Amino acid sequence: MTSLSDRIDARFAGTMGGFSLDVAFTAPMQGITALFGPSGSGKTTVLRAMAGLARLSGRLAVGDETWQDDAAGLRVPPHRRAVGYVFQEASLFPHLSVRRNLLYGARRAADQTPVIGFDEAVALLGLERLLERGPDRLSGGERQRVAIGRALLSAPRLLLMDEPLSALDEASRADILTTFERLHDALPIPAIYVSHDLAEVSRLADRMVMLSAGKVIAEGDVGSILERLDLEPATGRFEAGVLLTATVTGHDTGYQLTRLDLAGQPVSIPRVEVAVGERVRLRIRARDVALATRPPEGISIRNRLSGHIVEIAAAEDAPYAETLVEIPGGVRLRSRVTRESVAELGLTPGTPVFALVKTISFDGR
Partner 1 sequence: MPDFAELWSPVRLTLILAAVTTLVLLVVATPIAWWLARSPARWKEAVAAIVALPLVLPPTVLGFYLLILLGPDGPGGWIASLGGARSLAFTFTGLVIGSVVYSLPFVVQPIRNAFEAMGDRPLEVAATLRAGPWDAFWSVAVPLARRGFLTGAVLGFAHTMGEFGVILMIGGNIPGETRVLSIAIYDYVETLRWTEAHLLAGGMVAFAFTVILAMLVLEKRIGRARP
**Sites for partner 1 among residues 273-312 (CB under 8 A):** none
Residue 88 or 247 with smaller CB distance to partner 1:
88
Under rule CB under 8 A, residue 75 binds partner 1:
no
Q: Does 105 bind partner 1 (CB under 8 A)?
A: yes
Q: How far is the CB of 81 from partner 1 (least distance, A)?
A: 8
Question: Shortest distance, CB of residue 133 to partner 1, whole angstroms?
Answer: 9
164 forms part of the interface with partner 1 (CB under 8 A): no
104 touching partner 1, by CB under 8 A: yes
- Angle, helices 140-152/170-186, rounded to nearest 10 degrees: 20
Least CB distance from residue 214 to partner 1, whole Å?
22
CA gap 337, 356 in Å, rounded: 12
Give first-to-last CA distance, the chain, whole Å.
27
Can you tell me which of 32, 151, 353, 355 binds partner 1, judged by CB under 8 A? 151
The interface with partner 1 within residues 194-213 (CB under 8 A) comprises none
Which of 101/258 has CB closer to partner 1?
A: 101
Q: Which of 85, 180, 193, 320 binds partner 1 (CB under 8 A)?
A: 85
Cα pseudo-dihedral 215, 217, 220, 222, rounded to 10:
-110
By CB under 8 A, residue 79 contacts partner 1 = yes
Using rule CB under 8 A, residue 118 touches partner 1: no
Closest to partner 1 by CB, 38 vs 114, is: 114
Binder among 18, 73, 77, 350 for partner 1 (CB under 8 A) = 77
Amino acid found at 288: D
Q: Which is nearer to partner 1, 83 or 331 (CB)?
A: 83
Q: How far, in Å, are 86, 144, 224 from residue 105 at the CA level?
A: 13, 16, 37
Residue 77 vs 346, nearer CB to partner 1 = 77
* Residue of 39, 55, 65, 108 interacting with partner 1 (CB under 8 A): 108
With helix as H, strand as E and coil as C, how does the chain read?
CCCHHHEEEEEEEEEECCEEEEEEEEEECCCEEEEECCCCCCHHHHHHHHHCCCCCEEEEEECCEEEEEHHHCEECCHHHCCEEEECCCCCCCCCCCHHHHHHHHHHHCCCCCCCCCHHHHHHHHCCHHHCCCCHHHCCHHHHHHHHHHHHHCCCCCEEEEECCCCCCCHHHHHHHHHHHHHHHHHCCCCEEEEECCHHHHHHHCCEEEEEECCEEEEEEEHHHHHCCHHHHHHHCCCCCEEEEEEEEEEEECCCCEEEEEECCEEEEEECCCCCCCCEEEEEEEHHHEEEECCCCCCCCCCEEEEEEEEEEEECCCCCEEEEEEEECCCEEEEEEEEHHHHHHHCCCCCCEEEEEECCCEEEEC
193 binds partner 1 (CB under 8 A): no
Q: β-pairing, 303-314 with 7-16?
A: unpaired
Q: Which of 26, 57, 91, 224 binds partner 1 (CB under 8 A)?
A: 91
Among 26, 30, 97, 359, binds partner 1 (CB under 8 A): 97
> Counting contacts by CB under 8 A, is residue 139 touching partner 1?
no
Instruction: Candidates 33, 45, 154, 265: give the one binding partner 1 (CB under 8 A).
Output: 154
Of 52 and 164, CB closest to partner 1: 52
Q: Could you tell me which stretch among 147-155, 234-242, 323-331, 341-349 binds partner 1 (CB under 8 A)?
A: 147-155
Stretch that binds partner 1, among 101-109, 123-131, 269-277, 356-364 (CB under 8 A): 101-109
Which of 43, 145, 150, 196 contacts partner 1 by CB under 8 A?
150
Strand partners, 245: 281
Binders in 4-63 for partner 1, by CB under 8 A: 51-53
List contacts with partner 1 (CB under 8 A).
51-53, 77-85, 87, 89, 91, 93-97, 100, 104-105, 108-109, 134, 136, 150-151, 154, 160
